Amino acid sequence: MNQTIHFKTSMFDVSKERENPINPIYGLSLLEWLRNELKGNLEITEPDAEDWGWYCELSYEGNNYLIGSCAYFEEGDDPNHELEWVFQVDKQRSFKEKLFGKNKMSASDGCFLFFKELFEENPNFKEVQVA
């Protein structure tokens, strides 16, 4: 089960993102910003497209995660206004962990809390909420 963080920001101009070849959903710019912001501290893979938005993979405290993002933006919207964003963190677990209910993802997961605090502490991110 993934955990999500919702927020608003005008920090990114999603109209300049490369097109998602699967579905016309935006969100790439947040992941690219995270890769640059955390370079040297956290190794995050190159973003890739998915039908629900964009994702990257990373390792955090010995666990593997998929992080994803999407922005609510439609043609005709002003890309310079605050947009609503959804950021998700999903912990990858082995078959054995799933079978025995071990190492589950939760709102108290270290990786999830790391990103939540990162968004909360940055003044460019508004109305940061866990959903």
What's the DSSP call for residue 87?
E
What's the DSSP call for residue 81?
S
Q: What pLDDT score does 81 carry?
A: 85
Q: What pLDDT score does 1 carry?
A: 63
Q: pLDDT digit string (tens) for 1-25?
A: 689 999 999 999 998 999 999 999 9
- 84 neighbors 73 (Cβ within 8 angstroms): no
Q: What pLDDT score does 131 carry?
A: 83
Q: What would the two tokens of residue 106 be?
A: 């939760």
- Regions in the chain scoring below 70 on pLDDT: 1
Q: How many Cα neighbours within 13 Å face the side chain of 96?
A: 0
CA dihedral over 71, 119, 124, 19, signed as positive or negative: negative
pTM score of the predicted model:
0.92
Q: What pLDDT score does 44 carry?
A: 97
Q: What pLDDT score does 82 carry?
A: 92
